[in-house]
Amino acid sequence: MSAIAAPAPPLLRANPHRWTVTEFHRLCGLGLFAGQRPILLNGVILEQGLMDSPHANGVERTDAIIRTAFGKGWRFRIQLPLTPSQHTDPVPDIAVIAGTLVGSPGHPTTAALVIEVSDTTLNTDLTEKAELYATAGITDYWVLDVTNRQMHVFRDPQPLPAGLGATAYRTHLTLAPADSVSPLAAPTASILVSELLP
């Protein structure tokens, strides 16, 4: 006579914690990520790794060109918080914000232009970040791909078909170094992609 095996206990599913911007900023303020470059994407904290010189030089060159293109009446936030939702702070490389700083108590939630300078994070910048920025209504999102020496320009955010609960950019241009682009919020400026590349 064989023994009857007891039923296996039900498997418990671990529920990961979905971090909020407030929690993320508190952890950063406590020095938990000292020496690191964390970002918060849809409740998940990611580490971007050390910044190499092509990335740093690309940010510096792009910042200088963008400031000239936009001129006065704009704020230029370089690797500072941008909180489009309570679960997202991608800390973009460059965010151009309309107006001047007048003692606002919080971080901006939108921008006229967001630029990510990308090498090791290209896939995330072109997919997950693009969807998050589109959902936030960022109308002009650029990814400067320093490795492949090109720039991706995303525009016209539109909701995807009903039920998907997401937004995507309808326009995605891939520009070569010899191509030029004008920011939507500064249409008289013409920026040569090669001027941004390190």
Averaged pLDDT for residues 112-118: 97
Structure tokens at 101: 């700083």
Which one is predicted more confidently, 94 or 48? Answer: 94
Mean pLDDT of the chain: 89
73 domain residue, yes or no: yes
Please give the tally of structural domains in the chain.
Answer: 1
Looking at per-residue pLDDT, the higher value among 123 and 11 belongs to 123
Mean pLDDT of 182-195: 97
With respect to residue 12, please indicate whether it lies within any of the assigned structural domains.
Answer: no
- The predicted pLDDT at position 5 comes to 64
Tell me: the pLDDT tens digits for 124-165? 999 999 999 998 999 999 999 999 999 999 999 987 766 666
Task: Give yes or no for residue 120 having a pLDDT over 90.
Answer: no
Is 34 part of a structural domain of the chain? no
Closest CA to 25 of 39, 42, 41, 46: 39
User: Contact at 8 Å (CB) between 100 and 128?
Assistant: no
Domain that holds residue 164: 52-196
Angstrom distance (rounded) from CA 37 to CA 120 = 13
Whole-prediction pTM: 0.86
Place of tokens 């919080």: 106
Locus of tokens 């418990």 = 12
What would the pLDDT profile of 160-183 be if each residue is shown by its tens digit?
766 666 678 999 999 999 999 999
In a domain, 7, yes or no: no
CATH number, domain with residue 163: 3.90.1570.10
Percent of the chain whose predicted confidence (pLDDT) is above 90: 60
Residue 24 lies in a domain: no
Residue 19 lies in a domain: no
The pLDDT value given to residue 100: 80
Ramachandran quadrant class, 99 (left: phi over 0; alpha: psi -120 to 50; beta: rest): left
64 lies in some domain = yes
